[in-house]
Structure 1
Amino acid sequence: MSLIDPDAAYVVEFPEYPEVVHRHELAVTSDDDELFIGQRFSCKEECVYAIKWYSMNISVDYKVAVSTPTIYVGECWKTAEGCNWRTIKVSVLITEMQAQFQYQVSYRKAWIAKQMAMEQLYGDYDSSYNKLQGWIVAMREYVPGIVIELQTRPYYSPNGQLQSVKRIFHRMFWTFDPCVRASPHCKPLVQVDGTWLYEKYIQILLITVAQDGNRNVLPIAFAIVDKENMESWKFFLTNLRRYVISNDNICIISDRGKGLIAAIRRSGVPWRSVYCIRHITTNFHKDYKNADWKSQQKMIRLESDIEGQTNTSFRQWLGIMESWQWAQSFDEGFRFGQMATNLVEGINAVLLKTRHLSIASVFSATFYKLATLMPRMGQQQVDQIEAGHVFAEHVRDTMVVNRRLARSYGVDLQNQRCECRRFETLHYPCALVVAACAKVNVNVEQYVNDVYTLERTSHVWENEFPVLPDLSTWEVPLTTFELLPNRGLRRNPRGRPQSSRIRNEMDIREKSDGKRCGICRLSGHSRNKCHNRNFHVGQSSGSSRN
């Protein structure tokens, strides 16, 4: 029995793919009544007619959820009643079997049957490694500029004999040409992180993300490795430097993993390495386990107490890092205000429903998701430029607020510095700079960094992905060897694979003061039991505050 996560049945592997179909000319057509991914139509009306004809032939009712000139989305007409269409739980299978055959199967039998169905849909995990070779060959054939670095290890038979026709998967790096061309137009900072894959074998997906001037996130490189050690991170960073990021003036935000820190030092990348403040908080909680310290808001004042109660002083603990690696006041604007790795964590959440699929499905999903994202975001930039705007929407909205809050403070326009430090941190004028420019009659927009212009953001998203032809039409040559998984990385074969996040110190919320009364603003009671509440007839609690 193959180990496949049952949650995989709840996921449509490429839910956004129809958007790609509308934006590209596809190389395949069909004269049959069947619909398939990649089918081409001359216009939207013809596509809608084909969908309606197909739904009538198979007796499936649907309703239109979204209909625009470029998007047409249909869903089950019982969605409001809880029907998620392809979502089928094991309990539902048991009920359907009992209703149809008057026989109640056990949960285990229904779960095994579902696993067998999932194998037919996505393939089993073992054969997926060899299927990955076909995807690599096809990508290199149909996706110009793609970069794939695959490392394998020799395979030895049980009797210790080397077999040249078989290789063991070790690790793989890949990126796409549109991501490479978009990278120079993003902010000069990247975030890197690793996330677990929930397949049959223990693997980790490494991701690098960048951000454009309008705070949109773009994944620019991926890798699948077996561990987050120095060798794996060095492999990832070396290829990231070689193929994606050629600029030396880059700030890289990450956690304080020993393997990653060692890899940054040994790989020779000239980037400015800073740390996520949330991960620093987690490290502090691990080293200083006193729960009372975790709730303190002014730890610096307690430094003398900490030194007296612990073997390692707080000052020495912070001395391991440079001040500019964790404190925004010493950052000099390299972070662009980003103090945590929230951007890459958000991409991990986007790929959450893909991470339990086979390795070939994870690889292909990154292509389809980016191929959908690029044209949609590119059209948004075009619409903004055609509307006559110069800067990104986020900067425009912030500038409006800053003009309303403008006050007089110490501002150095020549060196682009301000007392509040927001000017040099975010690289666009704060309220104080707006006031200074208004006083000396200077155009404030000249102090907005070019990364926030729509011209730069449009260059990020203007590179569209080519469309892959239908899988049945691929002319993939035979591979020279069979690619196998590393069976030493197999998970515990008992039970279903774990697909939920293990909560750690980063998930612990800070203690709050509790709910406060809406009238007296004191804690310990609500407005309904407040002694200051007026109980006059016809007078509401809202009027009692007037």
Structure 2
Amino acid sequence: MAHDTPPVYVSNTQQLQGFLSLKKVEKLRLCVEITENRASEKSKTFLSFSSEAEAEAEASIIESRDENYSGSYDGCSLEKEQEENKNDCSNGASSKDDNFSSYGESPTDDEDSPTLPPKKRYQNFSMSGSKGNLEVLSLEMSSIDIAVGQRYDSKDDLERRLKLLTVRYKFDFDVETSTLTSYVVKCWVDGCLWRVRVSTLGESKAFFVRIYDSKHTCSCTERYNRSRQATPDILGMLYKNFLGDVGPAVPPTSVGIAITKQFGIKMDYWKSHRMLKFAREIDEGTPECGFESLPSYLYMIRRANPSTVTRLQIDELGRFMYVFLAFGASVNGFPFMPKVVVVDGTFLNGKYKGTLLTALAQDSNFQIFPIAFAVVDTKNDDSWHWFFTQLTLLIPDEEGLAIISDKHNSIGKAIRNVYPLAARGICTYHLYKNILGWYKGKEAFHLVKKVARCFRMSDFTAIFEEIEAIHPALHHLQRADVRLWTRVHFPSERYNLMTTNIEESMNRALSHARGLNIVRILEWIRVMMTRWFAEWREDARPQPTTLTRGVEKLLYGHVTAARELTVQRIDDHHTEVKYGSSRESLNVVNLVERKCIYRRFEREKLPCVHAIAAAEYNNVCRISLCSPYYNSEYLVSAYAESIMPADEAQPIPEIMVDQPCLPPYIRQQQ
């Protein structure tokens, strides 16, 4: 293959097998990269080829991997994950905001889907566990044996060694005697002479092997039929140390297959599930350990990140209730954001359940800007009130602030009590879904969507009358408080944020962390935000234009459309703009007050096509018509600070180490 052969996009396994077969006739290097398209939830595989120095080595590696291919890679199943977006698209529902959020993306992407930070998911084309790890495993297993005279500090150590022995030799045993001073086991097959007797010596609590009959007199066809002593904790230890990954994305079925192939132990789903749970606890710690170390973790995060706000709420018995975390970089970066906050919550999957609450903004490049996170028991009046109370430490209550959420009653109560001056808006997508559920007929749905997004009162009135004519029962939309869901009646500015799409995107980004213990959840968030802030800081600095890249792309379309408009000056402040000779498209623009009778200009704080046409006619700088929030300098300032990891080498005060934080009571989700 030529050295400059471009990347090849492979769409199915047959094509992949065809390219793999090229190694028989070509000297090539194969690089496989699997990326996740968050807008469409589909995977793409990229293949690139190069020849010369590394080709033969890479081809030989591929050949060896092909020979050992088991259908499972890195502890994960190769079965394609298909996550369908059931957003009622077939019947007209859509959660899309105005297309502000995906500028700079490929035209083939969903134009209206919120932008997540660019992230690639890599998977190595190798078996679960490298060849080196499997060799170490074989060496370790070969050294596991029992001998007369061996000393074990505790019975637990002895039982662990015996269980590892059953895995090595593929048999099972029954416990014949188990006391404080004696322990006797024998092969589970009746009549077999395999036997181990262990006991203490004098006052010592250690156990010593007294008798070991190592020869089995039973048939292998009998003793291989049971593996009860190959318990999930033992198998979890072996899998974690030698075989594969134990990350949140690894399914139990895949690790069960890996154990069966390596040790010949039959694994059902629930045994695999318990084994994977033990393996993860080795790597991540137990849920109880997470609560115990939470005060120390919060202290270390505050010490490493000045201006960080943390709050830990426990009850009178020292049991965990709530925790709140806002990194200093977010606290100091939010003043450079438009004053619109989107809040929502998602359920956690761990032993103690709970709910993760988040508060987000959107930066001037239409990217998600995380503000604060909290873990609470559930979505109720008390938890939401506590969350917003902590949020006031970062974002004070003031006129001009907008808070967008779903139509949860507890959120509404908390905003009225804690943020009385702020304007509350609800996600229009949830409203659309309710209408589609209550009333059948796409014509009414499209009109409701249109009336929610219109900019002028006259347009709102005309469309609403049309809705009532089609479905008289929909007059309840007036009672739903049009100030919450319509742009024209909203008492503040919500810019382009009509839905909670950015919250849904954040929930997807954190989906793999929802089953971790509480400290691991917060650390997952910290790692994610550290990466995002670093990437976006580097992306913001070299932007050569005064406005951000996303705004430039938006205004490019406006500039192109503005050239088709007819412009006529009225006076020093007002300009008449229309399309051709049609009076229906007549708009009056006031560049001094930054207003247009269409009202898009003042609502979005960006010049509409009419304002751009008027500015060009009057020789006014169009950049000056944009809100300062859309300047590149604001974007750089928003990500000026870094998010640092905790420095575990520094000592922690005893008062923090001894602070109690017990696990909460296990409760059902509401």
Normalised by the size of structure 1, how large is the TM-score? Answer: 0.67
Determine the structure 2 residue equivalent to 1:291. Answer: 440
Distance 2:326 2:272 in 1: 39
Specify the SS of the correspondent of 2:393.
helix
| Corresponding letter in the other structure for 1:198 | N
Specify the SS of the correspondent of 1:330.
coil
The answer to whether structure 1 residue 195 and structure 2 residue 346 are counterparts is: yes
How much does 1:245 deviate? Answer: 4.2
The answer to whether structure 1 residue 278 and structure 2 residue 456 are counterparts is: no
Determine the structure 2 residue equivalent to 1:504. Answer: none
| Corresponding letter in the other structure for 1:465 | I
Relative to structure 1, the CA distance from residue 360 to residue 417 in structure 2 (aligned partners, 3 Å threshold; closer, same or farther) is: same
Relative to structure 1, the CA distance from residue 319 to residue 79 in structure 2 (aligned partners, 3 Å threshold; closer, same or farther) is: farther
Determine the structure 2 residue equivalent to 1:462. Answer: 640
The 8 Å contact of residues 284 and 520 in structure 2, kept in 1 or not, is answered as: yes
Determine the structure 2 residue equivalent to 1:303. Answer: 468
The 8 Å contact of residues 381 and 454 in structure 1, kept in 2 or not, is answered as: yes
The 8 Å contact of residues 277 and 339 in structure 1, kept in 2 or not, is answered as: yes
Distance 2:487 2:350 in 1: 39
| Corresponding letter in the other structure for 1:119 | E
Distance 1:346 1:211 in 2: 12
Determine the structure 2 residue equivalent to 1:125. Answer: 287
Determine the structure 1 residue equivalent to 2:311. Answer: 149
Distance 1:203 1:107 in 2: 26
How much does 1:431 deviate? Answer: 1.5
The residue correspondences of 1:317-332 to structure 2 (distance < 5 A) are 317-321=477-481, 323-331=482-490
Specify the SS of the correspondent of 2:498.
coil
Rg larger for: 2
Distance 2:128 2:308 in 1: 44
Bigger mean CA offset, 441-450 vs 483-492? 483-492
Determine the structure 1 residue equivalent to 2:58. Answer: none
Relative to structure 1, the CA distance from residue 379 to residue 435 in structure 2 (aligned partners, 3 Å threshold; closer, same or farther) is: same
Relative to structure 1, the CA distance from residue 129 to residue 294 in structure 2 (aligned partners, 3 Å threshold; closer, same or farther) is: farther
How much does 1:380 deviate? Answer: 1.4
The 8 Å contact of residues 275 and 325 in structure 1, kept in 2 or not, is answered as: yes
Distance 2:354 2:592 in 1: 51
The answer to whether structure 1 residue 78 and structure 2 residue 240 are counterparts is: no
The residue correspondences of 1:47-196 to structure 2 (distance < 5 A) are 77-78=124-125, 86=245, 88-155=250-317, 167-196=318-347
How much does 1:207 deviate? Answer: 0.5
Specify the SS of the correspondent of 1:433.
helix
Distance 1:102 1:380 in 2: 51
Relative to structure 1, the CA distance from residue 132 to residue 377 in structure 2 (aligned partners, 3 Å threshold; closer, same or farther) is: same
Distance 2:624 2:471 in 1: 48
Kindly provide the CA deviation profile for residues 59-85 of structure 1, in whole angstroms up to 9, marking residues without a partner as x: xxx9xxxxxxxxxx9966516999997
Distance 1:280 1:85 in 2: 45
Determine the structure 1 residue equivalent to 2:538. Answer: 379
| Corresponding letter in the other structure for 1:382 | R
Distance 1:77 1:282 in 2: 41
Relative to structure 1, the CA distance from residue 318 to residue 442 in structure 2 (aligned partners, 3 Å threshold; closer, same or farther) is: same
Relative to structure 1, the CA distance from residue 79 to residue 399 in structure 2 (aligned partners, 3 Å threshold; closer, same or farther) is: farther
The 8 Å contact of residues 547 and 631 in structure 2, kept in 1 or not, is answered as: yes
- Give identity over the alignment, percent: 22
Normalised by the size of structure 2, how large is the TM-score? Answer: 0.55
Determine the structure 2 residue equivalent to 1:495. Answer: none
Determine the structure 2 residue equivalent to 1:398. Answer: 554
Relative to structure 1, the CA distance from residue 379 to residue 150 in structure 2 (aligned partners, 3 Å threshold; closer, same or farther) is: same
Determine the structure 2 residue equivalent to 1:204. Answer: 355
Distance 1:353 1:415 in 2: 48
Distance 2:469 2:122 in 1: 63
How much does 1:252 deviate? Answer: 1.0
The 8 Å contact of residues 365 and 551 in structure 2, kept in 1 or not, is answered as: yes
How much does 1:363 deviate? Answer: 1.5
Determine the structure 2 residue equivalent to 1:412. Answer: 590
How much does 1:473 deviate? Answer: 5.8
Residue number among 587, 595, 602 corresponding to 1:424 in the alignment: 602
How much does 1:102 deviate? Answer: 3.4
Determine the structure 2 residue equivalent to 1:314. Answer: 474
Distance 1:414 1:344 in 2: 36
Residue number among 510, 519, 527 corresponding to 1:368 in the alignment: 527
Relative to structure 1, the CA distance from residue 281 to residue 444 in structure 2 (aligned partners, 3 Å threshold; closer, same or farther) is: same
Relative to structure 1, the CA distance from residue 246 to residue 180 in structure 2 (aligned partners, 3 Å threshold; closer, same or farther) is: farther
Kindly provide the CA deviation profile for residues 379-432 of structure 1, in whole angstroms up to 9, marking residues without a partner as x: 211111xx3x21111111222222211113222223222243321122111221
Kindly provide the CA deviation profile for residues 481-534 of structure 1, in whole angstroms up to 9, marking residues without a partner as x: 432222242679xxxxxxxxxxxxxxxxxxxxxxxxxxxxxxxxxxxxxxxxxx
Specify the SS of the correspondent of 1:395.
helix
The 8 Å contact of residues 338 and 362 in structure 2, kept in 1 or not, is answered as: yes
Determine the structure 1 residue equivalent to 2:386. Answer: 235
The answer to whether structure 1 residue 225 and structure 2 residue 390 are counterparts is: no
The 8 Å contact of residues 418 and 433 in structure 1, kept in 2 or not, is answered as: yes
Distance 1:243 1:332 in 2: 23
Distance 1:455 1:491 in 2: 44
| Corresponding letter in the other structure for 1:477 | E
The 8 Å contact of residues 129 and 485 in structure 1, kept in 2 or not, is answered as: yes
The 8 Å contact of residues 255 and 276 in structure 1, kept in 2 or not, is answered as: yes
The 8 Å contact of residues 467 and 474 in structure 2, kept in 1 or not, is answered as: no
| Corresponding letter in the other structure for 1:379 | E
Specify the SS of the correspondent of 1:96.
helix
Structure possessing the higher relative contact order (Cα contacts under 8 Å, 6 or more residues apart): 1
Specify the SS of the correspondent of 2:335.
helix
Relative to structure 1, the CA distance from residue 487 to residue 460 in structure 2 (aligned partners, 3 Å threshold; closer, same or farther) is: same
Distance 2:372 2:339 in 1: 15
How much does 1:465 deviate? Answer: 2.0
Aligned residues: 399
Distance 2:315 2:295 in 1: 15
RMSD across aligned C-alpha pairs, in angstroms? 3.1
Distance 2:498 2:669 in 1: 35
Determine the structure 1 residue equivalent to 2:25. Answer: none
Relative to structure 1, the CA distance from residue 304 to residue 445 in structure 2 (aligned partners, 3 Å threshold; closer, same or farther) is: closer
Relative to structure 1, the CA distance from residue 81 to residue 228 in structure 2 (aligned partners, 3 Å threshold; closer, same or farther) is: closer
Determine the structure 1 residue equivalent to 2:167. Answer: none
Relative to structure 1, the CA distance from residue 92 to residue 370 in structure 2 (aligned partners, 3 Å threshold; closer, same or farther) is: closer
Kindly provide the CA deviation profile for residues 99-130 of structure 1, in whole angstroms up to 9, marking residues without a partner as x: 33334233332322221111111112223211
The 8 Å contact of residues 423 and 492 in structure 2, kept in 1 or not, is answered as: no
Relative to structure 1, the CA distance from residue 462 to residue 305 in structure 2 (aligned partners, 3 Å threshold; closer, same or farther) is: closer
Bigger mean CA offset, 352-361 vs 123-132? 123-132
Relative to structure 1, the CA distance from residue 488 to residue 423 in structure 2 (aligned partners, 3 Å threshold; closer, same or farther) is: same
Relative to structure 1, the CA distance from residue 141 to residue 394 in structure 2 (aligned partners, 3 Å threshold; closer, same or farther) is: closer
The 8 Å contact of residues 192 and 208 in structure 1, kept in 2 or not, is answered as: yes
| Corresponding letter in the other structure for 1:343 | I
Determine the structure 2 residue equivalent to 1:59. Answer: none
Distance 1:357 1:395 in 2: 38
Distance 2:441 2:610 in 1: 39
Specify the SS of the correspondent of 1:182.
helix
The 8 Å contact of residues 322 and 375 in structure 2, kept in 1 or not, is answered as: yes
